[in-house]
Amino acid sequence: MNATAYATRLRKVIVQQEDPYSGYEYQKLAVIPVGIALNLALGGLVAAFKLPIYLDAVGTIVVTMLTGWRVGMVVGVSSFVLASVLISPAYIYFVASQAAIALYVHFVGWTFRAFINLWRSIPAGIGLGIVACLVSAPVIIFELQGAAGSGRDFLTALLIGAGARKSVAVLLSGFVSEPVDKTIQLLISLSLVRSFPRRVLIRFPHRVCVGN
């Protein structure tokens, strides 16, 4: 190898080492199984104890914050396909909800900088809950006969027992539980992303601003 070729090769190595975005495609692939594992672990825990919340989208939200809606959507849909085998067959009906969560988080993060502080994040979480409620309601009403498979079913049953129609009961129970659940999930996800060192965060050029 002559001196010119060696110098050119050495320059490429140095530039690659100094570029914080080098290997970004591999990093995107690396966070997918982590996000899926988060969704499955937290979602399975909640399902086992029949809690009135879900906590099954933390991985989706974290990955969307770091890499954008496309990879976040892959995490959400893939984790729910797996959850339909490992936890409950009902999960397969909610893959559209996971896709909507990824799109919403990316949109409000980039458009409104919704995650730069707590006072913006809480309204964003409430909005996410409303979106999730509206997207999942038709599935719960028509495919699952009003049973979401979580603790919110107790509230749905109370409303039906009080004379509300099934569709109204499902929507009302969703409007009560989903904003609380999604706000909690959003704040957990935000805390996780903010806990990453700065040198890690800068390697994700498509991340939303999280005030870090």
Pairwise CA distance, residues 160 & 142, whole Å: 16
Alpha helices per DSSP H over 21-68: 24-49, 58-67
39 HSE (CA, 13 A, CB side)? 33
Contact by Cβ (8 Å): 171, 179: no
Structural domains of the chain, with CATH: 23-201 (1.10.1760.20)
Pairwise CA distance, residues 193 & 66, whole Å: 8
**Per mean pLDDT, which range of 80-94, 115-129, 138-152, 183-197 is the poorest?**
138-152
DSSP letter, residue 207: P
- The model's pLDDT over 154-193, given as tens digits with 9 standing for 90+, comes to 899 999 999 999 999 999 999 999 999 999 999 999 999 9
Output the six-digit token pair for 188.
């957990």
Contact by Cβ (8 Å): 97, 135: yes
- The model's pLDDT over 44-70, given as tens digits with 9 standing for 90+, comes to 988 888 777 889 999 999 999 999 999
Closest CA to 33 of 82, 68, 69: 82
Pairwise CA distance, residues 138 & 141, whole Å: 5
User: pLDDT at position 16, please?
Assistant: 44
Pairwise CA distance, residues 189 & 112, whole Å: 18
- The model's pLDDT over 4-17, given as tens digits with 9 standing for 90+, comes to 554 455 455 444 44
Pairwise CA distance, residues 139 & 153, whole Å: 14
DSSP letter, residue 139: I
User: pLDDT at position 18, please?
Assistant: 45
Please state the pTM of the whole predicted model: 0.87
11 HSE (CA, 13 A, CB side)? 6
